[in-house]
Amino acid sequence: MVRGRSKVPVKNAEELSLMRRAGQIVAEVLYELQGQIEPGMTTRRLDEIAETIIRDMGGVPSFKGYLGYPATICASINEEVVHGIPSTRRLKEGDIVSVDVGAIWQGYQGDAALTVPVGEVEESLWSLLATTQHALEAGIAAARAGVRLGAISHAIEGAAEEAGLSVIREYGGHGIGQQMHEPPNVPNWGPPNRGVTLEAGMTFALEPMLALCGAETKVLSDHWTVVTADSCPSAHFEHTIAITKDGAEILTRRQER
């Protein structure tokens, strides 16, 4: 557990430009995967595509080997919240799948995720996806130099609450830079007047995880896959951002090239 008061690294212009590049690799992978996801596809195939794109762009997959994690992406289907391991399981019409990608460019990290509907999905799942994406956007909108970290957490929680969805509390965002996980933890819930005061050059991965029913989770026997305890669907969106004096720059938003 990283406490709010511990030192949060501030990146200089050079470091931010490397993180921008790492972010663009991640953004490109997510863009490609989102376009290719369809019923019948295995999550292992998604993983192969992701690794190929990252390496072709000169990057290194950051998840592979991290604490023994065996793949380039996490692919978490339906009641799986995060950290689903790619496999020969085939996506089917009506599923939702969270795809989480991390890449390193010259020692600096990018980390982002989105949740994609597979073919036609139920109405309630559409709103789960839309609300979770909106919660991420609300967190980003609350982020700027001079406010406390809790402002982000509070904005994310508010967006979820407004839509009647549960915030998964055991997992959250994190500082990021030369390490994928740097201080501080960024909870997706809590009061606004908590945590460090944000400064320009701090970089964070914000990643709300929301559930249609209960917020309780458990980890499967593969030691990675986090699922909701009640098996209700869950969604996950993530961006890496840099704090600026008047807002936040989204490092993992794809720039048209």
| CA distance linking residue 14 with residue 163, whole number of Å | 40
User: Is there binding between residue 74 and ligand MF3 (CB under 6 A)?
Assistant: yes
> CB neighbours of 228 closer than 8 A, spacing ≥ 6?
79, 81, 168, 211, 213, 214, 215, 216, 217, 234
Tokens of 26: 């991640």
The one among 205, 209, 211, 242 contacting Co ion by CB under 5 A:
205
> What letter represents residue 125's amino acid?
L
Binders in 192-251 for ligand MF3, by CB under 6 A: 205, 207, 238
CB distance 142 to 130 below 8 Å = no
Q: Tell me if 83 contacts ligand MF3 by CB under 6 A.
A: yes
Instruction: Quote the least distance from Cβ 246 to ligand MF3, whole Å.
Output: 27
Q: Which of Co ion, ligand MF3, none sits in contact with 69, Cβ below 5 to 8 A by type?
A: ligand MF3
Token pair in block for residue 50: 């992701």
Q: If binding is defined by CB under 5 A, does position 182 make contact with Co ion?
A: no
- Taking CB within 5 to 8 Å according to partner kind, which of Co ion, ligand MF3, none is near residue 253? none
Residue 47 contacts which entry, ligand MF3, Co ion, none (Cβ below 5-8 A, type-dependent): none
Q: How far apart are CA 184 and CA 187, in angstroms?
A: 9
String marking each residue 90-129 x if it binds ligand MF3 according to CB under 6 A: ----------x-x--------x------------------
Could you tell me the sign of the dihedral formed by the alpha carbons of 125, 227, 164, 99, in that order?
negative
Are 216 and 230 in contact, with CB atoms under 8 Å apart? yes
Q: Which is nearer to ligand MF3, 26 or 121 (CB)?
A: 26
Q: Which residues bind Co ion (CB under 5 A)?
A: 111, 205
Interacting residues toward ligand MF3 by CB under 6 A: 63, 66-67, 69, 74, 83, 100, 102, 111, 174, 205, 207, 238
